[in-house]
Structure 1
Amino acid sequence: MTAGYVPPPYPYERLDEIIAIANEQDGGAVDLSIGTPCDPAPAEVVAALADGDAYRGYPPSIGSLPLRQAAARWIERRLGATVDARAELAACVGTKEFVASLPLYLALRDPSRDTVLYPAISYPTYEMGATLAGLRAVPYLSLDEINEDDAARALVVWVNSPANPTGELLDLGAAAQWGRDRGVLVASDECYAEFSWDAPPTTILRHGVQGLLAVHSLSKRDNFAGARIGFYAGDPEYVHFLREVRKHAGLMPPGPVQQAAVIALDDDGHVERQRGRYRNRLEVLATALTGAGYPAAVPGGAFYLWVPAPGGDAWAAARDLAARAGMVVSPGEFYGPAGQAYFRIAAVQPDERIELVAARLAVAPLHA
C-alpha cells in the first residue's frame, strides 16, 4: 500500500521540553513563542459581536459592503493607497486560511504553472500552502536571486513586510516591479503593517493593483485573532476569481464578526495605544537580553525580536533562557532551515510578565 501524505509536527508542539524547563521558575513560564495577542480588543468591538441580527442568516462570503468599505477607508487613511471596495477587495476567514489555500485556487486558474516562491526565513504557512496544493515550494533569500526558470513556473511570489520573524521592512515597490516584469502575481502579506517602526506604515498597493494582492488581518492590529477575520485587496481579475471559488468552498467570516470589524477598522486610537505597548515591550526585552549576553535590537517593524544564537545553536539558547528566566522562545528553524542559527521572541505577554522576564535575566548568571 502506498503511503499518503503525513503532516509534519506542528512547530510549536515541539516546545514541550522548553515549556517544562521554564515552568520550574517561581511564577511559571512566560511564553513568548507564539505571536498571539494578549491585550483586549476595544470594548465597543467586542460588544458588537452580540448586537443585532447578523448571526441569523448566512453572511456574505466576500464580506458585507460596510466591511469592505471600512477596509478600503483604512487602506487609504493609514497606508496611503486607494482601492475599489466593490471590485478590488474581499474578506477572508483570517489570513492564515487565505495563505494556505491561495496556491490551490491559483493552480485551478492556471494549471500551466506549478511553483510557489516564498522567503527562505518566513511564516511556515507559505510553504505549507504549496505543499497542500501539490505544488513546488521554492524558497528565496532575495528576489534578485530567484532562478528565472523558477520564476517562469511561478503562480505566486510571497513577500512579507514587516516580516515575520525578522521584522525586516522590504522595498515593496521593487517587489511589485519584479512580479510585473515576469508576469508573476505578487502576494504581499501585510498583517503587521500598523507596527512599522523605522518607516510609516505602507502597502504594496501604493504601487497600483495590477498583478498584486495585499493581505491584511485584524488579528494583530485589533487584538482580534480569535474572531478570525481578514481581507485581501488588489488586482480585480484575481480578486473576482478568488471571490467566486471561495464562495463555492463555503468560506465566509461570521456575520457578527464582520459587523464588529467595521467598528475596529474605523478606530485608529486603540491601534496607536497598541503600537506604544509593543514598542515598549520590544525595548524592555532587547535591553534585558543584551545585558544577559544575547545581543538583541528592536527591528524595523513587527513585534518580534530575531536574535542570533551563540554558536548558532538556537535550541541550546532556548533551553538556557527557559532555565534562567522562564522564557519560552521559538528556535529559528521553525521559520525555515535558513533561520536555524537564530531564535524568535514575541513581545506578546502583558507588561508585568515582560518585566518579570527582565528581572529574572538581570540576576541570572550568564550562559556558558
Structure 2
Amino acid sequence: MFPERFSNLPAYAFPRLRALLDAHDGGGPVRHMSIGEPKHPFPAWISDIVVQNAADFGKYPPNEGTPELRVAITGWISRRFGVGMNPDTQVMSVNGTREALYNAGMALCPEQKNGQRSVVLMPNPFYQVYMISAISTGAEPVFVPASAETGHLPDFASVAPDILARTAMVYICSPANPQGVIADEAYWESLIALAETHDFQVMADECYSEIYRDSPPPGILSVAKRMNAHPERVVSFHSLSKRSSVPGLRSGFVAGGPESISRMKQLRAYSGAPIPLPLQAASAALWEDEAHVEDNRALYRAKYALADRIFGNVPGYMPPQAGMFLWLPVEDGEAATLKLWKETGVRVLPGEYLSKDTQTGNPGKGYIRVAIVAPYDETEAGLTLIRDCLYGDDC
C-alpha cells in the first residue's frame, strides 16, 4: 500500500527521545536542552510591523516572496557575502530552511546519473531532512563520516570514485549541526572543485551562519563567485529562525543559479505554502537590520565562554566555533541521556539519534547534543548539572 522506500525509515530523533525518557521520572525540575529552539527575545518592532500589515492576511501572498522581501534578501547577501544576486531570478522565500532543503532534492535531483541510480551525499551526523529528501527522489543516500578524525566535517573527497560518478547532490551544513565547526574557505574551495570535477550540485545549509564566536563564517556563494564556478553549482539556504530568534515566523530563503531557482519555484507553485504577507513584511525588515543580530550573537558568545569555563577540563571537550549546540563526549550517548534525566531532570539528545549506523559504527554514539538556547542563568544551571552528573572528578 505504501512506497517501499519509506518502509524502513528510522524514527525521528525527538519521538525516540520521548520513548527513551518518558517511561522514567525526572530527577529534578525539567530543563529542556534537547531542542534548538531559540529562546532569546526577538525585536519588539516586529510585532508592530505585523499589526500594521494585518489587513494583508486577507490576500493571497506570492509563493516566491514579495519584491520588497526579495530585494531585502539580495541586499543582505550583498552586504554579508559580497555577492550580487538578481532578486527576480536567483532567490526565493521559503517557510524556513527545512521545507527548502527537502524540496531542493525533489526539484533538482535527477533519478539517474550516468545511467545509474543517483547518489546524494551527506554528513554523518546529519539533519534528517537531507536523508528524507534523497529517499523521496528515489536517490541513494550515502553517509560520509563527520567525526573527530575528519575535523567534524565530512571528507567528501574520500568517497569512492564509483560513488562520486553517481553523485548528483551533496548536502552540507556549516556552521555544522551538531558539532559547531565551520567550513573555512579552503574547505569550500575543495568541495566546489570536487563538484565541478564530478558534476554535482552542493546544497549548503547555512542557517547558523550568523551565530559565531569570532570571525563570520565564510559563505559558499562568495567562494563560488571567486572560483568562477558554474552558476548552478551551489545552492545556499538561510533562515531567520536562528539569526533573529523567530523560529515561529517560519521564514527563510534559498539562493542559487537561475535554473535551480526556477525549478524550485515551479515545484513550490504546486506544493509550497507561501508566507503570509504581514510576515513577509516583517521578514524584509529583519533582513535589513543588523543591530538585533549583533545583540543576539553577543548572548551566544557569553554562553560559549560559560561552556568553556564549565567543561574546559573535560577530556575531549570541543569549544563550539558557532551555532547553538555543545557536542559533548561521553561513553554512550543514550545511557548518558537517560542518566541525566533520571538524576537531574535535564533533557539532552543522544548523538546517535542524529546519526546513521554504518559498518564502522555510529559516529554520534559517543556524544550528546546540548542546546544552549535558554537565557544565561538557565543555561548555566543546566550545564552545571550536566558536568556534575556525567563528568564528576574529570572537572
Aligned residue runs from structure 1 range 260-275, under 5 A: 260-275=282-297
Structure 1: distance between partners of 2:96 and 2:102: 11
Equivalent position SS for 1:223 = coil
Match of 1:347 among 365, 372, 383: 372
Equivalent position SS for 1:297 = coil
Structure 1: distance between partners of 2:305 and 2:128: 26
Cα contact 1:288–1:361 (8 A) shared by 2? no
Aligned residue runs from structure 1 range 320-331, under 5 A: 320-331=339-350
1:10 maps to what in 2?
12
Letter in 2 for 1:249: S
- Residue 269 of structure 1: CA displacement? 0.7
Closer/same/farther in 2, CA of residues 344 and 303 from structure 1, 3 Å limit: same
| Residue 287 in structure 1 maps to residue 300 in structure 2 | no
- Residue 344 of structure 1: CA displacement? 1.0
Aligned residue runs from structure 1 range 1-368, under 5 A: 5-6=6-7, 7-16=9-18, 17-18=20-21, 23-25=26-28, 28-52=29-53, 53-107=55-109, 114-141=118-145, 142-170=155-183, 171-206=187-222, 207-208=224-225, 209-290=231-312, 293=314, 295-310=316-331, 313-336=332-355, 337-360=362-385, 366=391
2:152 maps to what in 1?
none
- Residue 363 of structure 1: CA displacement? 6.1
C-alpha RMSD of matched pairs (Å): 2.5
Deviations 1:5-39 (CA, angstroms, capped at 9, x unpaired): 345322112223446768431xx121111111111
Cα contact 2:300–2:324 (8 A) shared by 1? yes
Cα contact 2:42–2:244 (8 A) shared by 1? yes
Deviations 1:56-91 (CA, angstroms, capped at 9, x unpaired): 211111111111111111112123322221211111
Q: Under a length normalisation based on structure 1, what TM-score does the superposition of the two structures give?
A: 0.90
Cα contact 2:144–2:156 (8 A) shared by 1? yes
Equivalent position SS for 1:87 = coil
Structure 2, gaps ≥5 residues long: 146-154, 226-230, 356-361
Cα contact 1:324–1:360 (8 A) shared by 2? no
Structure 1, gaps ≥5 residues long: none
- Residue 152 of structure 1: CA displacement? 2.2
Structure 1: distance between partners of 2:2 and 2:241: 40
Cα contact 1:279–1:303 (8 A) shared by 2? no
Identity %: 29
Cα contact 1:167–1:300 (8 A) shared by 2? yes
Structure 2: distance between partners of 1:2 and 1:266: 45
Cα contact 1:158–1:189 (8 A) shared by 2? yes
Equivalent position SS for 2:52 = coil
Equivalent position SS for 1:188 = strand
Letter in 1 for 2:238: H
Structure 1: distance between partners of 2:256 and 2:391: 50
The number of aligned residues is 363
Cα contact 2:26–2:344 (8 A) shared by 1? no
Letter in 2 for 1:192: Y
Cα contact 2:65–2:274 (8 A) shared by 1? yes
